[in-house]
Amino acid sequence: MTPRSDPRILRRGPGSARMRLLDLGIVPWIRSQSVHHAVAACFDDASPDTVVLVRPDRPYLCVGHHGLGPQPSLTAVRRLGLPVVRRRLGGGTVLITPEQTFYVLVVHRRRLPLPDPAALRWCLGPAVGAYARLGVAAAAGPGTDVTGSGRKLCGSGSATVGAASVFGGNVLGAFDPDLFVEALRLPSGAARRLMAAELRAQMGSVEQATGAVPGAAAVTAALRDAVEEGCATRLVPGELTAAEEAALPGVERWLRGSPSRPAAGSPGCWKVRAGCGLVRVVLTRPRRAALLLTVRAGAVAAVTAELPRDRGLAAAVEAALGGRPLELPPEAAGGIAAEDRAALTAALGAARRLLL
Mean pLDDT is lowest, of 23-32, 74-83, 104-113, 218-227, for 104-113
Q: What is the pLDDT of residue 356?
A: 81
* Same domain membership, residue 152 and residue 53: yes
* Same domain membership, residue 298 and residue 158: no
Tell me, yes or no, whether 328 lies in a domain.
Answer: yes
* Same domain membership, residue 163 and residue 27: yes
Q: What does the DSSP 8-state code read for residue 9?
A: G
Q: What is the pLDDT of residue 350?
A: 87
* Same domain membership, residue 241 and residue 335: no
Other CB atoms within 10 Å distance of the CB of residue 217: 9
How many alpha carbons lie under 13 Å from residue 267 in its C-beta half-sphere?
9
- Tens-digit pLDDT profile for residues 2-47: 334 455 554 443 224 899 999 999 999 999 999 999 999 999 999 9
* Same domain membership, residue 146 and residue 18: yes
* Same domain membership, residue 84 and residue 193: yes
Burial class (CB in 10 A: 0-12, 13-18, 19+), 264: exposed
- DSSP per position, 170-228: EEES---HHHHHHTEE-S-HHHHHHHHHHHHHHB--HHHHHSSPPPHHHHHHHHHHHHH
pTM over 0.85: yes
Q: What is the pLDDT of residue 69?
A: 77
* Same domain membership, residue 331 and residue 223: no
124 dihedral zone (left: phi>0; alpha: psi -120 to 50; beta): alpha
Tell me, yes or no, whether 184 lies in a domain.
Answer: yes
The pLDDT confidence band at residue 167, using thresholds 50, 70 and 90, is very high
* Same domain membership, residue 347 and residue 302: yes
Q: What is the pLDDT of residue 15?
A: 28
Supply the range of the domain harboring residue 57: 8-255
Distance, CA of 309 to CA of 307 (rounded, Å): 5
Q: What is the mean pLDDT of residues 273-286?
A: 92
CA-closest candidate to residue 281, choices 353, 329, 195, 350 = 350
* Same domain membership, residue 334 and residue 185: no
Tell me, yes or no, whether 266 lies in a domain.
Answer: no
Chain centroid offset of residue 171 CA:
12
Residue ending a domain, among 195, 225, 255, is 255
* Same domain membership, residue 284 and residue 250: no
Other CB atoms within 10 Å distance of the CB of residue 98: 16
Q: What is the pLDDT of residue 332?
A: 72
Distance, CA of 122 to CA of 156 (rounded, Å): 12
Distance linking the first and last C-alpha atoms of the chain: 33
- Tens-digit pLDDT profile for residues 215-232: 999 999 999 999 999 998
pLDDT > 90 in the chain, percent: 76
Chain centroid offset of residue 174 CA:
15
The one-letter amino acid code at 291 reads: L
- Tens-digit pLDDT profile for residues 291-324: 999 999 999 999 999 999 999 999 999 998 999 9
* Same domain membership, residue 340 and residue 198: no
What does the longest C-alpha to C-alpha distance in the chain come to? 70
Q: What is the mean pLDDT of residues 112-122?
A: 89
Give the CATH number, domain containing residue 86: 3.30.930.10
Residue 143 has pLDDT above 90, yes or no: no
The pLDDT confidence band at residue 92, using thresholds 50, 70 and 90, is confident
